[in-house]
Amino acid sequence: MPVHRGPVLLDANSVIEAHRVGAWDALAARYRIVMVQKCIDETQTGSQRREPEQTIDYELLLAALHERHPDDLVAIMGIQLIPGGSLLDEGETSLWAHALKRTDDWLICGPDAASMRFGFDRRKRDRLVSLGGLLADIGHRPARPLYRNYEKAWLDALIHNLVMGLL
């Protein structure tokens, strides 16, 4: 698959996992990474319980972003009123609130089934992408294996189950 040239919206967990497996530099060098402030903030919480490779330098993270957006509280409240919106965590809610306002060729990457289902239910199936899929598209093999819910096979299986009405 050709490398996506448009914006890639990342949630905090995807950034943390990219750091854990040593893939952040490759990811940030090849994609136009977009984050909302809540997801940026979430990369900094819990750092005292993380392995050193999962520690994310705030300034370096900001420097790697193509776009950084404030949290839109009105849009977030709107997402929470949509079926499935209340199942999202705060970062995912803010990220989807931002994503659904965009008119360009964006993708959204996250490891959470509720978030991917929310996108599927909004008819955004073609915009859902896994961290593993992004890395495969640029030919990057992480130093450590990705956790299962970051792999392309996990997202493919989830989408298959949603299409079949099994979830």
What CATH number should be reported for the domain holding residue 134? 3.40.50.1010
Please count the structural domains in the chain: 1
Q: Does residue 123 fall inside a structural domain? A: yes
* 3 CA to centre of own chain: 16
Amino acid 1: pLDDT: 63
Q: Does residue 119 fall inside a structural domain? A: yes
Amino acid 48: pLDDT: 61
Q: Does residue 151 fall inside a structural domain? A: yes
Q: Does residue 63 fall inside a structural domain? A: yes
Amino acid 55: pLDDT: 83
Amino acid 47: pLDDT: 63
* pLDDT tens per residue across all 167 residues of the chain: 679 999 999 999 999 999 999 999 999 999 999 999 999 999 998 766 777 777 899 999 999 999 999 999 999 999 999 999 999 999 999 999 999 999 999 999 999 999 999 999 999 999 999 999 999 999 999 999 999 999 999 999 999 999 999 87
Q: Does residue 92 fall inside a structural domain? A: yes
Q: Give yes or no for a contact between 112 and 92, defined as CB atoms under 8 angstroms apart.
A: yes
* 84 CA to centre of own chain: 17
Q: Which domain holds residue 129?
A: 7-163
Q: Does residue 2 fall inside a structural domain? A: no
Q: Does residue 1 fall inside a structural domain? A: no
Which is it for the CA torsion 99, 38, 7, 128, positive or negative? negative
Q: Give yes or no for a contact between 119 and 125, defined as CB atoms under 8 angstroms apart.
A: yes
Q: Give yes or no for a contact between 85 and 118, defined as CB atoms under 8 angstroms apart.
A: yes
Q: What residue spans of the chain are helical by DSSP H?
A: 12-20, 24-30, 37-42, 58-64, 73-81, 90-99, 113-121, 131-137, 152-163
Q: Does residue 52 fall inside a structural domain? A: yes
Within 10 Å of residue 127's Cβ, how many Cβ atoms?
Answer: 19
Q: Give yes or no for a contact between 60 and 19, defined as CB atoms under 8 angstroms apart.
A: no
Distance CA 106, CA 69 (A): 14
